[in-house]
Chain A
């Protein structure tokens, strides 16, 4: 483990290039984490009232949101045909005419990644060939993460082998609920090693964790163990991404950067379906973490229906007419 860091540097270090090297499990840090739920909720309630983007700025921010989408299909009825359709949409998420009307015809706009189950990785990789769009695979017994540990490691390796450049792993929520931080750390550390060159997004399953304090603790342990991204949810829990949960996770990212110098990405997933929601998350990122977190390198939305609503808003921006869903090309 390379990053044995000096204790508590007070000044934020410049972002280190490259991936998160992780750090030794620091149980004192975990024990000292404090999260005041009412104060967190107050911040998120007012945050979206403190900032807004209008007109050209809104259009640009929505284009940015598109570039940060992990366009996702994670359903039992997924087929190669469905996945190929999704990939086509990923290459051309916004109609050319709309882009040109916005004066952004020259922008090569794609989504951030396409996110599928392992069995669809090869199909997606082929469909996205030449686009530069990475394929992300949900792995490790998604969504519950309770399949045999060895199988979970093999699943990661298989997906990477099949061409996935990003792996979205799920943690064992039981480790968080029982406070077994060494077990969580070792698990995530092992997943990270199995990922090899693929970037690892760590899904906390925040809806299962019970408290914001647990969300904070799990976030920090996963980053110590080498997560490149921390991600809220599988989309399958009863509560998925929320602004308060996201605020807690972004604050942990900030503290981790202060201590380690590494910049960790953030991915809210599940339940983000409107352009307005997307703007709220972008504002949260800019306010809490800064401009750099408004790029797909450090920020992704896990979403399936969000893109359609954004397209409608962009359409409205160019025509002044409210747009119909059926007029937006399907994924």
Chain B
């Protein structure tokens, strides 16, 4: 085109990024890639290979190896062999390695960016300005955590070998999010990139080799979902970290149930983008571009549900459509392109199908008339208005450049619509009213909330979801905990108060009790639904009375009571502390009674039983103390603003108590959970339940609101299964013996929790001396009782 013609059209013209370096690198690997295991490249044992393509053109970029069972074994072995030395290298030594990786990423930034765009289809503008700089930032930040690990996490140690499976939407960035904290904490890694987008991971492996990362510390295996399944199910790894779809996350949760592996899942989302009537509308529109037309909408935290105040919705939609019409779709290697290629034809078909379904269900479709590429895998930016919450496109993650729009009338309705989703990954709030923004942010069920901004990421800030968007955090201090475990080996002691001890005798002064302890639901003592009761016997076989035999319906009622008690979560920390002190005071006043009950049930000596009651009182004091001190943090990402990391309660926690220390273990589980604002449904020890049922009289006299603590006695493992399967329950804690048949029960709990991806915590009660504060109380309990919400608040007038 001549300059004179351009003066007339004033088009942008082509601006292709040079790809010669990437092509040269691909040409050097024209024979195909092997697997990176133990610091060396090796072919896959099987001859199976697959191709990776450029989705913008369909051309083949490289041939990759499909890792099989033997390959996964070898990679895990190599990681295991390297782990001791890597951990022993110390924080400073690891910091040097991570720093070197950060530098290498920067030095090779343009090659990594072009390769990523070729393999994934996202615009070069994004890989160049967002993905790769964030990768470098992540390694720098975690070089810092490696350096500080000994001083900042003195009670923690590395987990061991970590298996990581990452998605195709931010290939190298997800690698960085997984690898950097794992290595910083002293773990070694086996990572499988997505089969569509393995190339930057392979280039990264070469860089790691070049950087002198010790062999086996980082192992990269390629392959499709079969390789991933082998990796996550492998018994030789200590932790699984996965980012990807909720469906696969669910399968991983089920597959790893009972294996004792630590697990973090970062899954799907249907994140709300809430625009109030006092928002800066033009900026909100631009926010939408960053929210849903970023990376072709193939972003787990994409703001895909636009919720607008009804009074301004039409005005906003006009602006949105005008903006959409100026988006440029096309060759992702062009520097002036906003929307590149959809990663794979399968994904494109999924988008087309879901949009068609949305229209079928009544949504109004709008797409701008854009110059679309004639071939390749592309989809135009799409707006669906008049969508209702019941529509498929309002519920399902499209994972494409498709925005669905709804309206609300009041802030409360905005929150209700926002939370009307099984997901809970992220949310954006647009308003110029700080009161409104800071009122709404804590009410949203989302791990990340952006005020007047969207899709902000930084290594210093935790990222991760609520609900079916997964659990665990990546980034920041909270992310480091995912790759560590308490350093102190649990002291294995024979619990002094276990039943069956030969020397145990029931105290003589306890009269025969002839009564049935009821269930405690919603602050009331209620009869078990089934109308059955279970006998409770003392050590010598004497009857101590009976307890109600709770069933599924009692669990249902207890959870419902807990749901209604949500005011507890909104109570001030000071108020919760006061209640806990009061519980402690009232328990203390009844020390003799509780001591005698423990003696009667377990045969403990008076001294031992007295110690247990005293410890329970002390523990209540501990969490009364913590209630207003388990602070969040203010992170310092590189922006003018703050990121508030708030510790929020999970909601409803179901918990099963061990037989050991029937009072103390019960208190040790319940107190931290309610201290931070959870409501609990507790299943006491089936063998020694009476300390728990006695306890509700203490609760009744201590201003604990009904429904905050609910006690259902009965068959522990069956009831726990029901709790784990209940979608209203946000987490389950199972404190049972790990080393015997009950391990199967723990596995069943984890398996059942996969249904709605609820958090689980399996506590090895045999390995825990509940009397020892180092094991039986403290921050670990509080961390498990909370989830971190990162609220980004840029400011400036």
A residues whose Cβ falls under 8 Å from a Cβ of B? 8, 10-12, 32, 34-43, 46, 49-57, 59-61, 63-64, 102-104, 106-107, 211-213, 251, 254, 286-287, 291, 294
Contact = CB atoms under 8 A, between A and B. Distances in A.
Contacts of B129: 46, 49
Nearest to A42: B453
Nearest to A67: B7
Nearest to B9: A291
Nearest to B16: A54
Contact of A10 (B2, B7, B314): B314
Contacts of B452: 36, 38-39
Binding site secondary structure of chain A: helix
Contacts of A10: 314-315, 318
Binding site secondary structure of chain B: loop
B6 A38 contact: no
Contacts of B248: none
A43 B283 contact: yes
Contacts of B338: 50
Interface of B: 1-4, 6-7, 10-15, 125, 129, 278-284, 286-287, 290, 314-315, 318, 322, 326, 335-336, 338, 432, 452-453, 639-641, 794-797
Q: Which of A10, A60, A294 has the most CB of B within 10 A?
A: A60
Nearest to B797: A211
Nearest to A107: B4
Contacts of A60: 3-4, 6-7, 10
Contacts of A49: 125, 129
A297 B640 CA distance: 38
Contacts of A54: 13-15
Nearest to B281: A34
B10 A64 contact: yes
Nearest to B283: A39
Contacts of B6: 56-57, 60-61
A212 to B, nearest CB: 8
A29 B4 CA distance: 42
A57 B12 contact: yes
Given A53-B13, A57-B1, 20 more contacts: A8-B315, A10-B314, A34-B278, A34-B280, A35-B283, A38-B639, A39-B794, A42-B290, A42-B794, A43-B286, A50-B125, A56-B2, A56-B6, A57-B12, A60-B6, A60-B7, A64-B7, A102-B3, A104-B3, A104-B4
Given A50-B336, A54-B13, A56-B2, A38 B453 contact: yes
B283 A36 contact: yes
Contact of A11 (B1, B10, B318): B318
A329 B23 CA distance: 44
Given A10-B314, A49-B129, A251-B282, A39 B4 contact: no
A27 B787 CA distance: 46
29 contacts: A34-B280, A36-B283, A38-B452, A38-B639, A38-B640, A38-B794, A40-B280, A42-B286, A43-B283, A50-B125, A52-B15, A52-B336, A53-B15, A53-B336, A56-B2, A56-B3, A56-B13, A57-B1, A57-B6, A60-B7, A63-B7, A64-B10, A103-B4, A104-B4, A104-B7, A211-B797, A213-B797, A286-B10, A294-B10
Given A49-B125, A52-B15, A60-B6, A34 B326 contact: no
A56 B12 CA distance: 10
B340 to A, nearest CB: 13
B135 to A, nearest CB: 18
Nearest to A62: B3
A160 to B, nearest CB: 32
A247 to B, nearest CB: 8
A298 to B, nearest CB: 13
Nearest to B640: A38
A53 B12 contact: yes
B10 A291 contact: yes
B745 to A, nearest CB: 51
Contact of A55 (B10, B13, B322, B795): B13
B427 to A, nearest CB: 16
Contact of B795 (A38, A40, A50, A211): A38
Nearest to A36: B280
A286 B336 CA distance: 13
B12 A51 contact: yes
Q: Which of B278, B281, B283, B640 has the most CB of A within 10 A?
A: B283
B535 to A, nearest CB: 66
Contacts of A64: 7, 10
B740 to A, nearest CB: 57
Nearest to A292: B10
B796 A38 contact: yes
Nearest to A99: B3
B11 A37 contact: no
A50 B283 CA distance: 16
List the 6 closest pairs (A to B, CB-CB), nearest first.
A57-B13, A39-B283, A38-B794, A60-B6, A36-B280, A37-B796
A46 B123 CA distance: 13
B125 A103 contact: no
B637 to A, nearest CB: 12
Contacts of A57: 1, 6, 11-13, 15
Nearest to A255: B282
Contacts of B279: 34, 36
A55 B13 CA distance: 9
B702 to A, nearest CB: 47
A168 to B, nearest CB: 26
A87 B704 CA distance: 85
Contacts of B14: 54
Contacts of B15: 52-54, 57
Contacts of B13: 53-57
Q: Which of B287, B326, B797 has the most CB of A within 10 A?
A: B797
